[in-house]
Structure 1
Amino acid sequence: MANRCIGIREDNGDPCQRNASGKSEFCYQHKGQEENYLIRYAKDDTYFCPIDGGELRYWPRGDARLCGECEGLLLNEKNIDPRIQCIVELPKAEDEDERIGCPTCKSDSDISVGENLMTNISVEWAEIVGGGQWTSGQVFRGVTNVGYCEVCGSFWFNEIGKYDDKGKRVDDRGIRIKGFWTKGVWRRNITTWLDNHDMFQEHNQWQMRQMRLQKIESLGKRKIQIYCNHIDSATGIQCGIRKSTKNTHDADYCYKHQPE
């Protein structure tokens, strides 16, 4: 029975399912990976996800380690382009409760005694969805926490859209579009962002933050214009029902919360 190729798919980091060719340990498509020691000895160089504990796979396209479950991505210090180091100059996130242990230090007993917690840094992101030759597409914006290890210099990229502008976790009703960030989309996007080194420059991050906050402010004003002005005394949440259009009703409230 032919041996299975030990190569790794470039698009998603999954193990190749083809048979190896001839005397090689790789198939015809992954023949070019024969000289990549990170792939050949991947089983001897293991890292684990700080979120769910699963083993991180080596991902050739991003030259990084990727979690197949939470979509988190680890960049070791030796794999980081110097231009990405400007991330450490960005504001630190306020939510220290979300700090995670460094996967690199945890896998190397010579570096770590115990667990080194990574420093959370707030990073703005923007993604253009759709669009074509005659259309500009729609821009989605948000913030994610990027973990930085001050001991070994590694970075951990969380899936985008999980955090607000203060670095605190938000649910799917926040800036993130529910169901949009399916597996694979994040991997394609993080590769684009890592290639776009200017994105992490402090002045560009400031501009992206201002544009996102302006969008939030405009959405807030629109919500006040459209929805009932009633505020729940217990939760402080504005009513989500549209204002009444009946001539006999107060136009600032819905049918349910009309003033007596």
Structure 2
Amino acid sequence: MVKRAYSLELKENISAETAHKNSLSGILKNNRAFVCSDKECNIKLTCTKWSDKSAKRIFFTPSSKNDLHIAGCNESGEDEEKHRSKFEKENAKTTIAKNGVIVLKKISEQKTVKQESKYIKDAITIPTISNKSSNDFNRVKPEGSYITSILSLIDMYKDTDLNNKNKILKISSTENLTLEEFFFNIDTTSPIPTNKTRIYYGKVKVSTFKETGLKISFINSHISQPLFTNKKRMFDKYYGKYAKEHVDKDAEIYVFFRGYLNEKNKWCSFNNEFYKDLYFSKTNILY
């Protein structure tokens, strides 16, 4: 559920309270004439308690139970993020059980997702990278489902039902990785590979940068290049909760970042917007 949506009748973003008030006055006619205000998400929404004059708690909810907000949606909250993560992980586990591989996708490449789509029906086949230590992973495998949420990947890594040594994650047309290979511990491993999309994680300190920015500095001395993102965007997200609690307090917390370090020693975000590829935690939640 979200508190704001785009009204197709008014052609503007409005709050749920405003939508409800306008429905009672007759300005708005249809409680289902709304879409998510995040232009990348844009799922259809319905305003709750439309004709209830005594309504207290009003919000927008997906018009179809089969629709989910996209990962990193600017309007969704913690419940929606966790719901999305659970959906993606369970889809992935179904795909892996059918001997398929999981495809890493940018958020912008995955629009509205139907929950009933357990795996892509028109699956194509790709050759996986040979790995003698991974049983049955030296043959052609079908693509089966997409992963867009960084939280989904973390949850998969932690799931004891999955073997983190199997090459089940397709990063690009030429690179298949195990979950162990995809997660790179900055605190214990060096040097950092160049132009390799991974989830890099380790201890950091967070501080305000030029009022509107957030600077994420790695504790490990060999990582001289910090991460930067928009402070408000990060703090508005469930992923940024612990960063908000510890900013400018000289406290050490953990960051998980999906992206890569380029040849100019500059961090690049997988989704081109850093706040969509950052997750903060008080501890190393992988173990």
TM range (shorter): under 0.3
- Looking at secondary structure, tell me which structure has more helix per residue: 1
Please give the TM-score of this superposition, normalised by the length of structure 2. Answer: 0.22
TM-score (norm 1): 0.24
Higher strand share: 2
